[in-house]
Structure 1
Amino acid sequence: MLLLFHQAGASRHEYDPLIATFTKLGYDTLAIDQRSGGSLFGGRNRTVVKLGHSASYLEALPDLEAALTWARARGYRTIVAVGSSYTSSLVLLLAARHPQAITAVASFSPGEYFADKNLVKQAAAKVTVPLYVTTDPAESERVDEVLRDAHGANITRYRPASGVHGASTLVCARDPDGCKANLASFEAFLRKVGDVPASAAGAR
Structure 2
Amino acid sequence: MKHLLTSVLLFLTIYSYSQQKVEYDAKDGITITADLYDAKGSDAFIILFHQAGWSRGEYKEIAPKLNALGYKCLAVDQRSGGGVNGVQNETNALAKKKGKKTAYVDAFQDLEASVAYVKKTYKPKKLIIWGSSYSSALVLKYAGDYPDAIDAALSFSPGEYFGDKKFITKSASHIKAPVFITSAQNEKESWSGIYDVIPSNKKQSFLPKTKGNHGARALWDKFPDSKEYWAAVKGFLNTI
* TM, length-normalised to structure 1: 0.89
Q: 2:119 aligns with which of 43, 48, 72?
A: 72
AA in 2 matched with 1:30: L
Q: Which residue of 2 aligns with 1:180?
A: 227
Equivalent position of 1:27 in the other structure: 71
Which structure is higher in strand share? 2
1:111–1:145 CA contact under 8 A, matched in 2: no
- Of 81, 88, 92, the residue aligned with 2:129 is 81
Which one of the candidate residues 90, 114, 119 is aligned to 2:138?
90
Q: Do the aligned residues in 2 keep the contact of 1:72 with 1:101 (CA within 8 Å)?
A: no
Checking the alignment, whether the CA contact within 8 Å between 1:7 and 1:87 is kept in structure 2 is yes
Note if 1:16 corresponds to 2:60: yes
1:1-204 aligned within 5 A: 1-52=45-96, 55-73=102-120, 74-162=122-210, 163-173=212-222, 176-193=223-240
Unaligned runs of 5+ in 1: 194-204
Larger Rg: 2
Relative contact order (alpha carbons < 8 A, sep ≥ 6): 1 or 2 greater?
A: 1
In the alignment of these two chains, the number of paired residues is: 191
Q: Distance in 2 between matches of 1:123 and 1:158?
A: 21
Is the CA contact 2:183–2:207 (under 8 Å) kept in the aligned structure 1? yes
Is the 1:121–1:148 Cα contact (8 Å) retained in structure 2?
no
Is residue 11–residue 44 contact of structure 1 (8 Å, CA) maintained in 2? yes
SS in 2 for 1:49: helix
Q: Are 2:151 and 2:178, in contact at CA under 8 Å, matched by a contact in 1?
A: yes
**Cα displacement (A) at 1:100:** 1.5
Assess, with a 3 A threshold, how the Cα gap between structure 1 residues 191 and 148 changes in structure 2: closer, same or farther. closer
Question: Aligned letter for 1:165?
Answer: H
CA separation in 2, counterparts of 1:98 and 1:47?
24
Range with greater deviation from structure 2 (44-53 or 101-110): 44-53
Shift of the alpha carbon at 1:151?
Answer: 5.0
User: Kindly, what percent of the aligned residue pairs are identical?
Assistant: 36
The more displaced of 84-93 and 116-125 is: 116-125
**Are the aligned partners of 1:120 and 1:146 in contact in 2 as well (CA < 8 Å)?**
yes
For residues 191 and 148 of structure 1, what CA distance do their matches in structure 2 show?
23
| TM-score computed with the length of structure 2 as normaliser | 0.76
Separation of aligned partners in 1, 2:48 and 2:165 = 24
Q: CA RMSD in A?
A: 1.4
Instruction: After TM superposition, give the deviation of residue 136 of structure 1 in Å.
Output: 0.3
The C-alpha deviation readout for 1:91-128, integer Å capped at 9, x for no partner, is: 01111122221000000000000111001111222111
Shift of the alpha carbon at 1:148?
3.6
